[in-house]
């Protein structure tokens, strides 16, 4: 083996922080690269002022590399969106963001998480399965172009067992991603 082959890649250093309107240029760059019908700046601005919403961004240095958001209703948190810079997909950023969203949901006394996902989006389905999401139904023709959405739930996120799941996910990704969190 060469010296180069023996070196391990340094962990990504991320800062997770609340999303602000001044972050939307970076958020929209990722949104437009990730979705066939991206959300508009106006929609994000409207979401950010809602008290029942939580939006987070992941920074790498001075660049936004991912984001996610929740809508809270009673004891449920709906993952509205989550996206990672296409150049960095597969590096653990999505796991970090989803873990952070789950913890924010718990802070707001949510007991369950839900989301919709394109039925054929295998990478997203694998991510959500790690977090205990299971399909419970289908929204036919939910997405533009007529694709179906799976409705997925992770129930009882307020239990010790789910806390253990989050801890295991965080420990696994910590080898690849170093995270600083800002409230």
Selecting among 47, 116, 143, 147, the annotated active-site residue is 116
| Lookup: tokens for 112 | 């369950």
Active-site residue among 109, 128, 162, 172? 128
What is the C-alpha to C-alpha distance for residues 150 and 54, in angstroms, rounded to an integer? 23
105 and 113 Cβ atoms separated by less than 8 Å: yes
How many C-beta atoms surround the C-beta of residue 83 within 10 A? 23
Of the candidates 78, 124, 83, which has an alpha carbon nearest to the alpha carbon of residue 105? Answer: 78
Examine the residue annotation and report whether 55 is marked as an active-site residue of this protein: no
Which residues are designated catalytic?
Answer: 116, 128
């Amino acid at each position: 083996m060469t010296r180069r082959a023996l070196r391990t890649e340094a962990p990504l250093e991320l800062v997770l922080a609340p999303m602000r309107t001044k972050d939307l240029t970076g958020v929209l760059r990722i949104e437009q690269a990730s979705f066939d019908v991206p959300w508009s700046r106006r929609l994000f601005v409207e979401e950010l002022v809602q008290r029942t919403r939580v939006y987070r961004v992941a920074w790498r240095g001075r660049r936004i590399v991912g984001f996610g958001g929740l809508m809270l209703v009673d004891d449920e948190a709906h993952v509205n969106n989550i996206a990672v810079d296409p150049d960095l997909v597969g590096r653990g950023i999505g796991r970090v963001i989803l873990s952070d969203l789950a913890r924010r949901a718990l802070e707001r006394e949510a007991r369950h998480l839900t989301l919709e996902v394109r039925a054929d989006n295998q990478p997203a389905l694998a991510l959500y399965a790690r977090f205990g999401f299971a399909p419970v139904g289908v929204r036919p023709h939910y997405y533009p172009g007529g694709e179906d959405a799976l409705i997925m739930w992770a129930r009882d996120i307020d239990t010790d067992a789910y806390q253990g799941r989050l801890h295991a996910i965080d420990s696994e990704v910590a080898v690849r991603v170093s995270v600083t969190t800002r409230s």
